[in-house]
Amino acid sequence: MTPEHTENAEPTVNDGSAGNPAPAAERAGTRALPRDLVDVEALLAAYTERHPDPAEPAQRVSFGTSGHRGSSLKTSFNEDHIAAITQAIVEYRADQGVTGPLLMGRDTHALSGPAQDTALEVLMGNGVHTLIDSRDGFTPTPAVSHAILALNAEVPAGVGPPDAGRAGQADGIIITPSHNPPADGGFKYNPTHGGPADTDATNWIADRANELLAGGMTEVRRIPLAEAKQHEALGTYDFLDRYVSDLPQVIDLNAIRQARVRIGADPMGGASVGYWGEIGTRHGLDLTVVNPEVDPQWGFMTLDWDGKIRMDCSSPNAMASLIERMAPAEGAGEGESAEPAPFDLATGNDADADRHGIVTPDGGLMNPNHFLAVAIDYLYRHRHGWPAGAGVGKTLVSSSMIDRVAAGLGRDLVEVPVGFKWFVPGLLAGTGVFGGEESAGASFACFDGAAWSTDKDGLLLCLLAAEIRAVTGRSPSQYYAGLVEEYGDPVYARIDAPASPEQKAKLKRMSPADVTADTLAGEPITATMTEAPGNGASIGGLKVTTENAWFAARPSGTEDVYKIYAESFRGAEHLAQVQAEAKAIVDAVIA
């Protein structure tokens, strides 16, 4: 059983500069060295020169919860992949009756630019009306999602025949591998609802793309890039203006401005780089973009827990430089007070800005689960235009502190499987005004209860942290301390355990009846579930709960391991006991 990610891990300071170089993982939290950086020229060359073998599983198109991801150096994200996926999307949207514009955005990963060019060649080859950024810049995932909703709200009712369905509606492609390392690329499809595509769509698209690869790409309709850029079907859209202009619909910017909250926003080299400055300027905020640099190698980053460059704004290692910057300086001499932190609040976003990281002077980087609990408690007490019956949405591996907060608010808890797509129906209908994941991804409704975005929005949650500071006079860390006093202090962690493909398949097929244990870490088991109570959907694994603890086990989609998420309100020792017994319970079933 090997640690994969622990929320409260501290950076290990060891730069390996003296004597033998330290192993990469021992340099977690320290600045990347030249040997850590990807060869961008080789990466881009491999994108066009390498061609996937459709018979090799690792080189086929495969959609996870956030689209197809891979690296050109591993022949898992190459020109053929993107051309095939784009052609499959063209055919899928035609099959679904989608006739509106397709909005396309990209992040700052090196492979995102070439992938957009490939996609344009195919989209124009098929005559699909496509809108790209009017500023030729980078586009955060939430900006694309919000734009899809905004455009579709403007489509007049009754367009086309009564059964036209999605006629005139917009959808989108977002080219990003999110927080993944610099060598990776990602490509995802957001249908007309603006959120991540569900498995029916992604399975169809992946299957068709693999058919096109196996067929030698002969059915892919494509024109040269120069011709594509002059095609009459290609247009532009000002994603930044739409997003920044609409922010007063969802965030109390007046409160932030009047309280003069000092915000330090770190785009972490990602797609939010142009957005933060515009937000500050247009809305008169005391906001500083602390690192406006864009570098496809991300050489300015500190290494993550495993020694890799990863733009994970929930990781204390990846966020080490911002955390250090927020630490109050020590006094110069005896009797002198420490200099205050430069900001009241510092924030970070991953490469496509769908995740958030919150750093406070008094608490450092907040555990994502802690901030979700704070956001929920604050929002449901201050959004008086939200429906009184709207529940609190969380994924089943998020902290049960949220369960206690929801109960304290008198709101129903809507617990769904992992994946933001499960929140989309509620956000659109107004029955689910908040949805959040333990991996620092969330979104919530506008003041009037209408959907703001149906994908994760890291910018939004960072601005919410500033609103909380402005309205309550407390930092989000101080706010969470109040919740702890009321509901208890949970300890949460995730670890990995080895499992063969056959064992992972058994775990995915488990039923509650397979668990024979009646206690967990000294407490009676209160529930054993393989379906999410919020919507009855399969969780692809198992969750077991007691009064003060729980664990969930799910197979990894990419590695021969299964993930154990666990939490206890009785301290770290009890958590370790929960983890050990969880592994024993699962191993007994999948052996």
Q: Could you give the maximum distance between any two Cα atoms of the chain, in Å?
A: 79
- φ and ψ of 460, to 5 deg: -60, -45
pLDDT at 9 (0 to 100):
34
Decide which of 182, 209, 237 is a domain's last residue. 237
The pLDDT tens digits of the residues spanning 316-329 come to 999 999 999 998 65
Same domain as 85, residue 143: yes
How many other CB atoms are there within 10 angstroms of residue 235's CB atom? 12
| CATH at residue 471 | 3.40.120.10
Measured at the alpha carbon of residue 165, what is the angle toward residues 159 and 169, in degrees to the nearest 5?
Answer: 65
Distance, CA of 114 to CA of 583 (rounded, Å): 43
Same domain as 473, residue 363: yes
- Which candidate in 71, 178, 272, 443 is catalytic? 178
**Does residue 514 lie in a domain region?**
yes
pLDDT at 163 (0 to 100):
41
**Does residue 247 lie in a domain region?**
yes
First-residue to last-residue Cα distance in the chain: 15
pLDDT at 557 (0 to 100):
72
Measured at the alpha carbon of residue 360, what is the angle toward residues 356 and 364, in degrees to the nearest 5?
Answer: 90
pLDDT at 339 (0 to 100):
73
Token pair recorded at residue 115:
């992938």
**Does residue 16 lie in a domain region?**
no
Distance, CA of 460 to CA of 146 (rounded, Å): 11
| CATH at residue 546 | 3.30.310.50
3-state secondary structure 443-504: EECCCCCCCCCCCCCHHHHHHHHHHHHHHHCCCHHHHHHHHHHHHCCCEEEEEEEECCHHHH
Same domain as 470, residue 365: yes
Distance, CA of 237 to CA of 241 (rounded, Å): 9
pLDDT at 65 (0 to 100):
72
Token pair recorded at residue 112:
């995102």
Distance, CA of 188 to CA of 172 (rounded, Å): 8
Does 178 participate in catalysis according to the annotation?
A: yes
Same domain as 482, residue 495: no
Same domain as 504, residue 462: no
Same domain as 69, residue 177: yes
Give the count of domains, the chain: 3
Q: Name which of 491, 484, 494, 518 is nearest 575 in CA terms.
A: 491
Distance, CA of 515 to CA of 536 (rounded, Å): 19
**Does residue 419 lie in a domain region?**
yes
Q: What is the spatial order of strands in the sheet that 413-416 belongs to?
A: 413-416, 391-395, 432-437, 441-444
- φ and ψ of 587, to 5 deg: -60, -35
pLDDT at 156 (0 to 100):
61
Measured at the alpha carbon of residue 510, what is the angle toward residues 509 and 512, in degrees to the nearest 5?
Answer: 145
Distance, CA of 538 to CA of 190 (rounded, Å): 22
Distance, CA of 586 to CA of 502 (rounded, Å): 14
Decide which of 237, 271, 304 is a domain's last residue. 237
For the chain, list residues with pLDDT below 50. Answer: 1-22, 157-164, 332
Decide which of 454, 487, 520 is a domain's last residue. 487
Same domain as 503, residue 463: no
Show the domain range for 422: 242-329+339-487
What radius of gyration do the chain's Cα atoms show?
24
DSSP bridge partners of 524:
519
**Structure pTM?**
0.92
Q: How far is CA 337 from each of CA 238, 328, 331, 428, rounded to the nearest angstrom?
A: 47, 10, 5, 51
Is residue 566 within 8 A of residue 585, CB to CB? The reply is no
Same domain as 503, residue 575: yes
Q: Name which of 532, 548, 530, 494 is nearest 393 in CA terms.
A: 532
- Quickly tell me which residue has 């088991």 as its tokens: 525
Helices (H), 96-191: 112-125, 141-154
Task: Reduce the DSSP state of residue 184 to 3 states and report it.
Answer: strand
Same domain as 230, residue 348: no
